[in-house]
A = this chain, B = another copy of it.
Amino acid sequence: MDIYQAEDTMVCTSRVPGLKQTNLRVLRGLKGNLVVATDTVGVDKGNWVFTVSGSAARYAVGDFDVLTDLAVGGIIDNWQED
């Protein structure tokens, strides 16, 4: 599982049906890299979160039919950047 800081929500009008109405969130990694994750926890911009990848991400959203490969797993209570 990896550590990211939440950025903006991502809007995608055209997307595959398998993603349904899930919330897509842009995340920034510790080295500045950007990824996209489904969010069922309800993060706010600036929150530090950890993510669950692979097939576990599909279970994490509470609906195995949602076709994500990365889901927000939780909000880290206290995180000090190095």
- Which residues on A are within 8 Å of B, measured CB to CB? 1-3, 10-19, 24, 26, 30-31, 33-37, 40-42, 50, 52-62, 65, 67-78
Contact = CB atoms under 8 A, between A and B. Distances in A.
A interface: dominant SS:
mixed
Given A16-B61, A16-B72, A24-B50, 17 more contacts: A1-B24, A10-B50, A10-B76, A12-B73, A13-B75, A15-B74, A16-B40, A16-B41, A16-B60, A18-B59, A19-B52, A19-B74, A36-B50, A56-B67, A57-B69, A59-B67, A60-B67
A62 B50 CA distance: 22
Copies, count: 5
A1 B69 contact: yes
A33 to B, nearest CB: 8
A11 B59 contact: no
